Structure 1
Amino acid sequence: MDLVSPNPGLIFWTAITFLILLFILKKYAWKPILKAVNDRENSIESALLRAEAVREEMSRLTSENESLLKQARAERDTILAEATKVKNQIIADAKEAAQKEGARQLEIARIEINNQKAIAMADVKNQVAALSLDIAEKVLRKQFEDQKKQDELVRDLLKDVKLS
């Protein structure tokens, strides 16, 4: 039973050694250990605060980016709508100008055709008149070869003419 029953001297020296160890630890080890634990706790806390601030900043930036994207999309839609409007206006103006130019060209062609037609008709009339005169001359020469026929024609013409 010697092992199980404690010796009072051993208990005393063990307690003294423990108290000395406790004093040395308190004097030299606890302060640096507690300081290191407190520093670590403070660095973790500041890191958490920085992470929260960064998360809030990211949230704000994400919100700002979304609003900028919406604004850019709206501006893009406005520019596209304006470009479409300008394109349609240019097309309409070009069509109108082409129609006006086409109408002008048609009118010029119509006038030219009418001029050429009038020239051709005048030429045909001149040719018909010349042919008619040639034919009439030939017919009259043939008829007036005989003096008797000439006298008859003069009498008939005089009957038709009435003096007023």
Structure 2
Amino acid sequence: MDLLTPELGLFFWTLVAFLILFFILRKFAWGPILSSLGEREKGIADSIATAEKVRAEMSQLKADNEKLMAKAIEERTAMLKEAKEIKDRIIAEAHEQAKASADKIKTEAQQQITQMKNAAMTEVKNEIGNLAVEVAGRILRKQLSTAEGQDEYVKMLAEDIKLN
């Protein structure tokens, strides 16, 4: 049991050594340890504050980014709408121009057809007149080739003159 119960001298010297070590550590070790712990605590607090600040800035940037995206989408929509209106207007103008050109071409074609028809009718009338004169001339020559035919023709002319 000697090992379990320390003697008074051992106890005293252990206590003296402990107190000396305690005062030495307090003077030389605990100050720097406590100051480094304080610095570390301060660094951690600064890092937390910086992280909070960065998180707040990121939130602000995210909100700004969302606003910019919404604005960009709105501008894109407006541009697409304007482009569609311009396209529709150009198509409508082209359609109107094509219709006007088609109407002009149709009118000119109808005028040409009418002119050609009138020219053809005049030509046909002239041809019919020429044929009628030629046929009448041949008939008259045949009928007037005899004396008897000439007498009948003279009588007919005389009757026509009396009627008029």
TM-score, length-scaled by structure 2: 0.89
In 1: Cα distance, 2:155 partner to 2:86 partner: 87
1:69 equivalenced with 2:65 (yes/no): no
Residue deviations 1:27-71, cap 9 Å, x none? 100110001111111111111111111111111111111111100
Aligned to 1:103: 103
The residue matched to 1:161 in structure 2 has which SS? helix
Assess, with a 3 A threshold, how the Cα gap between structure 1 residues 144 and 8 changes in structure 2: closer, same or farther: same
User: 1:109 offset after TM fit, Å?
Assistant: 1.3
SS at 2:145's partner residue? coil
Q: What are the residue-to-residue correspondences of 1:82-121 with 2, within 5 Å?
A: 82-121=82-121
- Of 122-131 and 63-72, the range deviating more from structure 2: 122-131
Q: Which amino acid aligns with 2:92?
A: A
Alignment of 1:39 onto 2:39: yes
Distance 1:154 1:12, change over 3 A: same
Which shows bigger deviation, 37-46 or 112-121? 112-121
Provide the rounded CA distance (Å) in 1 between the counterparts of 2:155 and 2:163: 14
Other-structure match for 1:144: 144
Deviation at 1:121, TM superposition (A): 1.3
Instruction: Quote the offset at 1:3 in angstroms.
Output: 4.7
Deviates more, 1:87-96 or 1:140-149: 140-149
Q: Distance in 1 between matches of 2:80 and 2:63?
A: 25
- Aligned partner of residue 19 in structure 1, secondary structure: helix
Q: Does 75-84 or 154-163 show the bigger shift?
A: 154-163
- In the alignment, which residue of structure 2 is the partner of 1:10? 10
Cα distance in 2 for residues equivalent to 1:153 and 1:7: 190
Q: What number of residue pairs does the alignment pair up?
A: 164
| Whole-angstrom CA distance in 2 between matches of 1:69 and 1:163 | 105
What is the identity, as a one-letter code, of the residue corresponding to 2:105? Q
User: In 2 relative to 1, CA 163–120 (structure 1 residues): closer, same or farther, beyond 3 Å?
Assistant: closer
Matches of 2:102 and 2:113 in 1, distance apart? 16
Percentage of matched positions with identical amino acids: 43
* Aligned equivalents of 1:60, 1:137: Cα separation in 2: 113
